[in-house]
Amino acid sequence: MNDNFHTVHRINFDEPIVEMVARLEREHQDFRSKPETSLSMLVYNRDGSIRILDELGEKIIQHAVEEEARLMRIIMEKARSDSERSIHVMQEHNHVVTFIKNTLPQLRLVPEDKAREQITQFADALKEHFSEEEVIVFPLVRKIAT
């Protein structure tokens, strides 16, 4: 994870890895629905709309830290020669974190159509990232963990 992070994140190393992957997948489902909710509120409640993204941002950062700490560790230990695509997917976290740390705080100040465009771009990048994890990273972890 890049160094823009100052918060301390707790990682539970006792959670079995296969259960953890199932939980991460459930979290993806939850995360995917949030930008849409945010967009639907944007016109009449900008504050509430952005608060949803703030909460989502915190959860996503914790989620990404866990992926890097636990999934990448097991991949580098047990499937290093197969790790290239997973490393590439994990690097997308930088883009996600940049949106959360830099773009999100500006969203209250920009015109509504600009805010809508930025939230939509973020939502699309997230969906793409989650799909790649579900197709590339999670199956590899399941394979080496069982």
CB atoms within 10 A of CB 117: 12
| Nearest residue to 64 (alpha-carbon basis) of 30, 14, 24 | 24
Q: Binding string, 45-84, against Fe ion, x = CB under 5 A?
A: -------------------x--x-----------------
**Which of 12-20, 47-55, 119-127, 131-139 is the region at the interface with Fe ion (rule: CB under 5 A)?**
131-139
Nearest approach, Cβ of residue 84 and Fe ion (Å): 16
Nearest approach, Cβ of residue 108 and Fe ion (Å): 26
Nearest approach, Cβ of residue 93 and Fe ion (Å): 6
Q: Please give the angle made by the CA atoms of 25, 77 and 21, to the nearest 5 degrees.
A: 10
CB atoms within 10 A of CB 128: 12
Within the chain, where are the H helices?
17-41, 46-66, 72-78, 84-91, 93-98, 112-132, 138-145
Nearest approach, Cβ of residue 53 and Fe ion (Å): 17
- Which CB atom, from 67 or from 140, has the smaller least distance to Fe ion? 67
Kindly determine how many residues on this chain lie close enough to bind Fe ion according to the rule CB under 5 A: 3
- Which CB atom, from 13 or from 48, has the smaller least distance to Fe ion? 13
User: Please, are residues 18 and 146 in contact by the beta-carbon 8 Å criterion?
Assistant: yes
Q: Could you tell me how far CA 41 lies from the centroid of its own chain?
A: 22
Token representation of residue 132: 């790649």
- Which CB atom, from 40 or from 131, has the smaller least distance to Fe ion? 131
Residue 133 contacts Fe ion per CB under 5 A: yes
Footprint of Fe ion (CB under 5 A): 64, 67, 133
